[in-house]
């Protein structure tokens, strides 16, 4: 409600958060305590950091922000309109994202209605999180092959009384097909698996199904 009733207060609060984050990451850079994250590293809200675009061409051994993957998300703004997201969130994330060599965006929030301005405005955007609450087809149509379709499937089947293998297969198959139809670079990140109903073998089952579907689609 504050975004409608007292927008200047919200802008002031967001500006303060942005300034604090910028001061922190700049201090880390100045102290020389940053490490590269372009190999077998967890980046964004899930995914590997493997890339030959980092570090920057003038890298001399001292790791700077521009040698790294960056990341922003806005889960707390998942239910606000695209217009409000673009007004109250993105302007305070862009100065942070601009410091990094490549960027990831999003976590659990559904972003399919906000992809147009994210793709257009986030610098060097390479990975967008497509959560269980995002529309897959709309997301694929927007991302195409320009940005990694970082799909986060619903982890609930792992916690079910009986593991619904065919339900899992259908969900994965649909996503693989939709991504392929639109030329997307797809990665599948099974996360938020807080319980598996005491059946750890389900992780192997889930992974085997995902591999079968990816290979069947030529992945």
Six token digits for residue 5: 């009733």
Nearest to residue 73, comparing CAs of 52, 47, 37, 35?
47
d(C-alpha 179, C-alpha 70), whole Å:
24
pLDDT by residue, tens only, the chain of 219 residues: 999 999 999 999 999 999 999 999 999 999 999 999 999 999 999 999 999 999 999 999 999 999 999 999 999 999 999 999 999 999 999 999 999 999 999 999 999 999 999 999 999 999 999 999 999 999 999 999 889 999 999 999 999 999 999 999 999 999 999 999 999 999 999 999 999 999 999 999 999 999 999 999 875
Round the CA-based radius of gyration of the chain to a whole number and report it: 19
* pTM score, whole prediction: 0.94
Reading the block at residue 125, the tokens are 């955007």
107-127: burial string, b at 16+ Cβ within 10 Å, e else: bbbbbbebbeebbeebeebbb
- 10 Å CB burial of residue 213 (0-12, 13-18, 19+) is buried
């Amino acid at each position: 409600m504050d975004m409608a009733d007292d927008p200047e207060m919200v802008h002031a609060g967001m500006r303060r958060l942005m300034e604090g984050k910028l001061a922190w990451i700049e201090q880390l850079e100045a102290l020389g305590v940053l490490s590269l994250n372009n190999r077998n590293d967890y980046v964004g809200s899930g995914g590997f950091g493997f890339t030959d675009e980092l570090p920057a061409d003038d890298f001399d051994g001292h790791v700077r922000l521009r040698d790294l993957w960056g990341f922003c998300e806005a889960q707390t703004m998942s239910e606000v309109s695209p217009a409000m997201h673009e007004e109250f969130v993105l302007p305070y994330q862009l100065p942070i994202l601009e410091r990094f060599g490549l960027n990831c965006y999003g976590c659990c929030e559904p972003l399919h209605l906000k992809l147009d301005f994210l793709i257009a405005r986030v610098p060097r955007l390479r990975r967008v999180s497509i959560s269980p609450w995002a529309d897959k087809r709309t997301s694929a149509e927007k991302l195409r092959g320009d940005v990694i379709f970082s799909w986060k499937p619903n982890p609930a089947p792992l916690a079910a009384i009986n593991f619904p293998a065919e339900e899992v297969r259908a969900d994965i198959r649909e996503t693989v097909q939709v991504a392929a139809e639109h030329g997307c670079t797809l990665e599948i990140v099974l996360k938020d698996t807080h319980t598996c109903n005491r059946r750890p073998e389900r992780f192997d089952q889930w992974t085997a199904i995902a591999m079968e579907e990816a290979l069947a689609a030529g992945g």
